[in-house]
Structure formats: structure tokens, C-alpha cells
Amino acid sequence: MEVRNILLVEDDELDVISVKRSLRKLEHSYNLDTAYNGIEALEILQQCKLREKPLPDIILLDLNMPKMNGIEFLKALRQDEKLRDLKVFVMTTSGDEADRKTTEQLGVSGYLIKPLNFNNNDKRTDSLEGFFQFHLRKIIAL
């Protein structure tokens, strides 16, 4: 199976761990880079271009971040000729319809709202890790 390159842009340490643990459980080969805000993510992508390293197959993007938020990052990404075609998945706690619309206009492959409560007795998504596991499986399989 082909190795997936994933760039996770997320400022919450806990979410980063959740994603990592979920990926580990998927038994799927992957390389994970982590950026804690939009600027770090852009820097990583610039380095990829310079060193001719492979660009990520998927960017998992949070929206609420310090320094440069997800939407600003997405705008910058879509303006870069070499980066504009990268696949982006938004994973946010924001239920704001305006955010969803803006990101859709900027072109995203998916928009997931991270749940805040886990009392729905759905084993697949009963914890944040479960939630990531459930969705990452589908995303990576793309």
C-alpha cells in the first residue's frame, strides 16, 4: 500500500495526539508532519518545494489557530501556483456557517465538525480518537 504524506495543521496538542493515535491504529503507512499554525504549515510546504521533497497528499486543517488561522492559510495556499491543487480537509470545532461557506469557496475536499460531546453511544465516534479514526480511514483511503 502506498505511503501517505499527511500535513496536520492544528494548535491543540490534544487533537494532535488524537490524530497520531488514530493513525497508528489504522495500520496504514503514513508520514505525518505537524504544524501548530498557518505560518508553520506554509514554512513546511516551502521546504518541501525547495528540497524537492514530496508535497503532502492531504492537509488536515484546523480553523481556529493563533498567528495565521486556517482560512488565511487556505487563501495563501490557493494563491501559490505549486501548492494550489493540494487536497485540504477542514477539521474544526466551529459550527459557524460562514466558515463552512468561505472554505467551500476556497475549495476543500471535506469539512468535518469535531464533536464536543461524546454521549451518543456511537462506538465509532464515542471519543475524539474514535472520531478521527472513523474519518481518517475514509480520508486516507481516498
Partner 1 sequence: MRLSTLIFLGFSVVIVLSLVDSYVNNLLSDKVNQNIVFLTRSEAVIRNSSRLHKSIIEMQSGFRGYLLTDEQEFLQPYFSGLKVIPRLFNEQRALIKESDVQSRKLDSIARLHQEWINYANSLIEAKKESLEESRVSNRYQYLFENKLRKQVGKKINDNIASIFRRFDRLEYQVRENRRDQLLLSIDRTKTFSFIFSMLTVAVGVMSGIYIVLLISRRIKQMVNLAESISKGQFILVKDNKNDELTSLSNSLNIMSTELSKNISELEKRNRELNQFAYVVSHDLKAPIRGIYNVVQWIEEDLGEEISSEMRKYLNIIPQRINRMEDLIHGLLDYARISRDKPVKEVVDVNIMLQGIAEMLVPESFRLNIDKMPVLFTEKIRLEQVFSNLISNAVKYSKGENPAIEIQSEEKLNAFQFKVIDNGIGIDPQYHSKIFEIFQTLREKHDKESTGIGLAIVKRIIEEKQSTIKVESEPGKGTAFIFTWPKD
Which residues of this chain interact with partner 1, rule CB under 8 A? 12, 14, 17-18, 21, 93, 116-119, 127-129
% helix, strand, coil for the chain, step of 5: 45, 20, 35
Contact 58, 140 (CB under 8 A): yes
- Between 7 and 128, whose beta carbon lies closer to partner 1? 128
Contact 133, 25 (CB under 8 A): yes
- Between 46 and 127, whose beta carbon lies closer to partner 1? 127
Give least dist CB 33 to partner 1, A.
22
- Between 12 and 80, whose beta carbon lies closer to partner 1? 12
CA 44 from chain centre, in angstroms, equals 14
CA distance 74 to 110: 13
CA distance 1 to 77: 28
